[in-house]
């Protein structure tokens, strides 16, 4: 029996609708949540991401500001810009779009963002809040993973969870969120012995390693829930055939565009798993939805208001 497909776009739409209602309520109370996105230079991929973030803000009624310093901006100039945004009361969230130009000290710039406005959830103070289960801002993609599980009625408490990947952006925070949800969590990486064997113990398997189709059927326990965080582009026809032979719709798109997206999970895993997120349309749509949710959360936390006890809030 094929796996249940966990529709991230549908869940993201639910969250956006909830956030939109909260924006209306807060705005009626004289508090319109505001997000500033800083995009340095002209990285085409970053420009696409920023456009989608600003568009989502506008659709939901946020105050949104897109700030585009030139490519030549120095670390000091960007620190001054971030300092100005920290002081502006109408700005609740600050997002510095990565990557920054090579000559800029990215870590210093990100660290300068006030923790209470750090809607990416990357500041060490927010990492500490997550680790110690205090209210704070949680990285958007990991928070989205938890929302998919909760809203799909997949039990976290008591589950054996395996996270493949230990990045600061996804692997570590998603592991902490699962631990906070009372799962028993194993974090795997390139030095893990018998990786397939460890993964086969998982009731919940989160793949966030950044390698196309790495998680194959022999990594997965029958009936397990598989969350694929990976987003990899395939352009080689032979590689396309390896993963998508017989998929007429995907074949047509590949012929037209010369590329397709694949996660870290081999598509054949859908024949073994109990539930699985697709790529695209799984975890991806949740990232921007949770960014919007984090901006609401920041607006409330900054003013001493209570926030709902969901994964990100």
Query: DSSP of the chain, one letter per residue?
Result: -PPEE--HHHHHHHHHHHHHHHHHHHHHTT---EEEEE--S--HHHHHHHHHHHHHHHHHT-EEEEE---TT--HHHHHHHHHHHHH-TT--EEEEPSPPPTTS-HHHHHHHS-GGGBTT--SHHHHHHHHTT-S----HHHHHHHHHHHHTT---TT-EEEEE---TTTHHHHHHHHHHTT-EEEEE-TT-TTHHHHHTT-SEEEE-S--TT-B-GGG--TT-EEEE---EEE--HHHHHHHHTT-HHHHHHHHHHS-EEE-SB-GGGGGT-SEE--SSSSSHHHHHHHHHHHHHHHHHHHTT-----SS--
Q: In the prediction, which pLDDT does 305 show?
A: 75
From 118, 120, 203, 264, active-site residue: 120
pLDDT score for 261 = 94
- Clarify whether 233 is annotated catalytic: no
Q: Has this prediction a pTM greater than 0.85?
A: yes
For residue 308, the model assigns a pLDDT of 62
Kindly list the domain boundaries of the chain, sorted by start residue. 29-116, 140-284
Our answer to whether residue 14 is catalytic in this structure is no
- pLDDT confidence of residue 42: 87
Per-residue pLDDT at 140: 96
pLDDT of amino acid 310: 47
What's the confidence (pLDDT) of residue 312?
41
CATH topology of domain 29-116: Rossmann fold (3.40.50)
Q: Are 75 and 46 in contact (CB under 8 A)?
A: no
CATH fold of 140-284 reads Rossmann fold (3.40.50)
Choosing from 92, 97, 117, 300, the catalytic residue is: 97
Identical fold at 29-116 and 140-284? Answer: yes
Residue 97 annotated among the catalytic residues of the structure: yes
pLDDT, residue 291, reads: 96
With a cut of 50, list the residues of the chain below it in pLDDT. 310-313
Output the pLDDT for position 214. Answer: 96
């Amino acid at each position: 029996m094929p796996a249940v497909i966990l529709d991230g776009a549908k869940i993201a739409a639910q969250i956006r609708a909830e956030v939109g209602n909260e924006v209306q309520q807060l705005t009626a109370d004289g508090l319109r949540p505001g997000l500033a996105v800083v995009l340095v230079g002209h990285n085409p991929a970053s420009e696409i991401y920023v456009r989608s973030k600003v568009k989502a803000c506008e659709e939901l009624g946020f105050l949104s500001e897109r700030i585009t310093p030139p490519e030549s901006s120095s670390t000091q100039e960007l620190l001054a810009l971030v300092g100005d945004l920290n002081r502006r009361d109408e700005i609740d969230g600050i997002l510095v779009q990565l990557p920054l130009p090579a000559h800029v000290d990215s870590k210093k710039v990100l660290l300068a963002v006030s923790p209470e406005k750090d809607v990416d959830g990357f500041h060490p103070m927010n990492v500490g809040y997550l680790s110690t289960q205090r209210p704070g801002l949680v990285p958007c993609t990991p928070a989205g993973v938890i929302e998919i599980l909760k809203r799909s009625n997949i039990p976290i408490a008591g589950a054996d969870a395996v996270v493949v990947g230990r990045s600061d952006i996804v692997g570590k925070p998603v592991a902490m969120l699962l631990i906070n949800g009372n799962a028993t969590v194993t974090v795997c990486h390139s030095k893990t012995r018998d990786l397939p064997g460890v993964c086969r113990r998982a009731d919940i398997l989160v793949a966030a390693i950044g390698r196309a189709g790495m998680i194959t059927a022999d990594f997965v326990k029958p009936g397990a829930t598989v969350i694929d965080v990976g987003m990899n582009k395939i352009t080689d026809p032979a590689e396309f055939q390896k993963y998508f032979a017989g998929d007429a719709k995907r074949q047509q798109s590949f012929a037209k565009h010369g590329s397709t997206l694949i996660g870290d999970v081999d598509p054949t895993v859908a024949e073994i798993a109990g539930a699985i997120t697709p790529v695209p349309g799984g975890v991806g749509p949740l990232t921007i939805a949770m960014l919007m949710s984090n901006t609401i959360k920041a607006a409330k936390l900054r003013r001493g208001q209570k926030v709902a006890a969901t994964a990100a809030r």
